[in-house]
Amino acid sequence: NEDLKNFVSYELSSAVDDSKIQAAGYGLLNLSDGTTVVKNRADIPLPIASLTKLMTAWVTIKHGSLEDLYVIQNADLESTSPSLNLKVGDEVKVRDLLNAMLIGSNNDTAKALAGYISQKTNTKFVDLMNESANSLSMSSSRYNNPIGFDSNTNYSSVEDMAILVQALLPSNVFDQTSKKSSYSFESKDGKPFTTSATNKLID
């Protein structure tokens, strides 16, 4: 009930000790009602590393079809860890690329999804990322790659990330990925792929 939610929010916000949190900015969001329990420097643009892949997921879901098959191209290859070690010619389902990216934070899957969407829409993927940020009113965000490699033009804020997470919720993408410690799938010709979650909180 409402009293219980208010009590829990109060207890959580009271328990936060800013002096013990080593983060340039942070926020705790109650996903059941969208309220912010506690935050600090939440509107400051900051490097977001692999959280960039949440926007990659958004653009993929918005402009693609998860049941499509995509053939890996030379431009999709990326060896920076973590990587699935995709090879040119691998034919894989978009849903598997998306799940592997969100669960294992695989860099080559993010690059492959960008290649798939660019091919499907005939539009640069980063342009679609920034168009999406603008349409979601993520005013402190800018993207220049689908992976999250550090750049002066790839950043977001705690508040903007909260907007993006809430926008993704109706797609149910987190239902499939947020609690899995690993993910395995096969390409169309039966080549196996496996990735492990980078989220140490799962266990």
Digit-coded pLDDT (tens) for 143-159: 999 999 988 999 999 99
Amino acid type, 161: M
Q: Enumerate the β-bridge partners of residue 36.
A: 29
Distance from C-alpha of 83 to C-alpha of 86, rounded to nearest angstrom: 8
Q: What is the mean pLDDT of the chain?
A: 91
pTM of the model: 0.90
Mean pLDDT, range 53-75, rounded to an integer? 97
93-110: pLDDT as tens digits: 999 999 999 999 999 999
Token output for 185: 């799938």
Token output for 118: 């660019």
Token output for 177: 């990925």
Supply the pLDDT for residue 23.
Answer: 87
DSSP code of 132? H
88-147: pLDDT as tens digits: 999 999 999 999 999 999 999 999 999 999 999 999 999 999 999 999 999 999 999 999
Distance from C-alpha of 203 to C-alpha of 186, rounded to nearest angstrom: 25
Supply the pLDDT for residue 201.
Answer: 79
Supply the pLDDT for residue 21.
Answer: 81
Under 8 Å between Cβ of 72 and 110: no
Supply the pLDDT for residue 13.
Answer: 63
Supply the pLDDT for residue 125.
Answer: 98
Length of the chain measured in residues: 203
Supply the pLDDT for residue 29.
Answer: 87
Supply the pLDDT for residue 116.
Answer: 98
Q: Is the pLDDT of residue 49 over 80?
A: yes
Supply the pLDDT for residue 178.
Answer: 86
- Going from the C-alpha of 36 to that of each of 9, 20, 95, 116, the distances in angstroms are 9, 20, 31, 35
Q: Is the pLDDT of residue 164 over 90?
A: yes
